[in-house]
Amino acid sequence: MVLPETGDCIVLNGEIYNYGALREQLKDRPTALQSPGDTAVLLRLLAQRGEKALQDLRGMFAFAFRDQRSGNVLLARDPLGIKPLYFASNPATAGDWTLVFASEVRAILASGLLAQHRLDARAVESVLWNGFTVAPVTAVQGIESLLPGEAAWFDTSGRLMRRFTYWIPPTPGQGPVATEEELEAALLDSVRSHLISDVPVGVFLSGGVDSSAVVNLAARSGASTVNTFTLAFNEAERNEGDIARQVAKAIGTRHTEVLLTEQDFLARLEPALNSLDQPSFDGLNSFFMSHAVRDAGFTVALVGSGGDELFGGYSSFRDLPRMQQVNRLIASAPSITRQWLACGVRRIQQSSGQAYEPQTRWAKLPDMIAAGPAACDLYQLAYALFLPANQRALRAVRASDSGLLSGLPPERYRQLAQETAGRSDLGAIAMLEQRLFLGERLLRDTDATSMAASIETRLPLVDTALLSVVHRLPDTIRFHPVRLKALLRRTGLKGLDSQLFNRPKSGFELPFDRWLRQALGQEIEATLLDAAAVSGAGLDAAEVRRLWMAFKAGAKGLYWTRLWALYSLIRWTQVNRVGT
């Protein structure tokens, strides 16, 4: 969209939820904009205020704004990283282009502007550690990602002029202590804001606390009809169809249940995998759910992601503070004592005689003891797909050092260290869960896979206004009892029978573990045993073969996510013709 009086231009991906209020802040409050929507308001705000306008935006967005007078371009990404934004500058000063940017890495590859499509060695190490790449690194050399809450100015030659953070998470103690009533009002406000749309809105309902809270809040916010959708499976261990049906009935929604069988999954595996913009061991559940919603005629859907990170729903909130306490206790012990303790634990593990080392948190204990009490290091070790020694063995060039710190790009590691400093143990873990598990994995994969189905997903539990209230809650109210999300239950599930949710936590996942040992395993095996393909993805073919054979033999502590992450990396490099 171009502003007629100045020639300033914007390209926007996403939604600015508070654009109505921002319209009232415009100079002279113009009554005739190019359109009644948020893009016209954002364009005029940027033309009037420049980068200062970023502070006032509430929403999910990635945009490029060109200042006509200077010719400079501002790229910006929303504070919580819901919408991705990638860019590359032309290394050739005499080239016929200067800067390229897009919402997907694959769009930049498809532009044909990059002379080479080379796999970034840091991405390989990141996938082995995290199961996905962590910004600002991408899978392709020369393509970078903006961080959440970051913006950058580029001049007409494509040169980076300034890169800056315009939003930082609220720090504990900012403002008065929030009340439960204030949180409930913030939840209702967020859901109400996310429901604003020119078309009907659906809601993903898994039957868990988070998605059920969003559905219940949507009904309480005054929505005339709430349309809910659930994926069901034949595999009982992963099927929550019955529970979701009960929740939908209790709330009074118009409910649709879609059965996904292993045969259906295999039949659509190729387009599902092709929807992933970068290698990842997650995201396919969102692909199938998004298509189910789209097939029902909806183009906008609310998602319940974010509740676990806000209110302490993961086991990390229980386990990591314990580990931090242990490490603080032994921190004063002589170094040789700590080494002796770590070696003793390692010897116990190695006596098991398994075909492949267990990749469990217990197996990571020696490395966690050596790491000390720093939250970021312990968190990364706890979530690592592979032990550090196995990561080195799986990389094709084992002596290479990509420079990552605990599996993170150094600039991201330093940012997270700053954002967790001064927080309680639980508050620091919540920040890491929001920035990494949610921000780098769930949000990015959900965006790519849902957009592949032409669905716009919105996340009312991932909202800066809501976050500002949550961060003013005392830990004793926000997190305790740990893992139960009692506060979200009281505020989000009000009016529902608590017995509906008194059951063990079950993540919204496809039954991969069973499928990998059945028909799906044949597809995985063909890829993992293809030495040329494995080497082309920067992995050691012999070590990958050993890993797969151990998994097939039923090695304990070797979960399906490890194999799927490698498969995703190898296949992505093949499909997108990106190699070492």
Enumerate the domain spans of the chain: 9-165, 180-313+429-501
CB 202 within 8 A of CB 228: yes
**pLDDT score recorded for residue 347:** 65
Is residue 226 within 8 A of residue 218, CB to CB? The reply is yes
Longest Cα separation, the chain: 76
Domains 9-165 and 180-313+429-501 share a fold: no
pLDDT in tens, 246-276: 999 999 999 999 998 888 988 898 999 999 9
Residues of the chain with pLDDT under 70: 29-32, 237-238, 339, 345-353, 398-401, 506-509
| 446 alpha carbon, distance to own chain's centre | 8
Burial of 555 (0-12, 13-18, 19+ CB in 10 A): middle
DSSP 447-463: HHHHHHTT-EEE-TTS-
Q: What pLDDT was estimated at residue 353? A: 62
Task: Please state the pTM of the whole predicted model.
Answer: 0.95
Other CB atoms within a 10 A radius of the CB of residue 161 amount to 12
DSSP state of 64: E
* Nearby residues of 113 by Cβ (< 8 Å), 6 or more positions away: 88, 90, 97, 100
Peptide bond into 358 cis (omega under 30): no
Q: Which helix (H) or strand (E) holds 201?
A: strand 201-204
End-to-end distance of the chain based on CA atoms, in angstroms? 39
CA distance 290 to 457: 9
Least Cα distance to 478 among 310, 314, 315, 318 occurs for 310
Considering only the top CATH level, what class is 180-313+429-501?
alpha beta
Pairing of strands 9-16, 59-66: antiparallel
Is the separation of the CB atoms in 282 and 246 below 8 Å? Answer: no
* Residue 508, pLDDT score: 58
Q: List the CATH code of the domain at 9-165.
A: 3.60.20.10
The 10 Å Cβ neighbour count of residue 326 is: 15
Q: Is the dihedral of CA 347, 349, 354, 359 positive or negative?
A: negative
Q: Residue 60 in 3-state DSSP?
A: strand
| CA proximity to 97, closest of 77, 117, 118, 73 | 73
Contacts of 420 (CB under 8 A, 6+ apart): 375, 376, 427, 428, 431, 432
List the structure tokens of 189. 């406000």
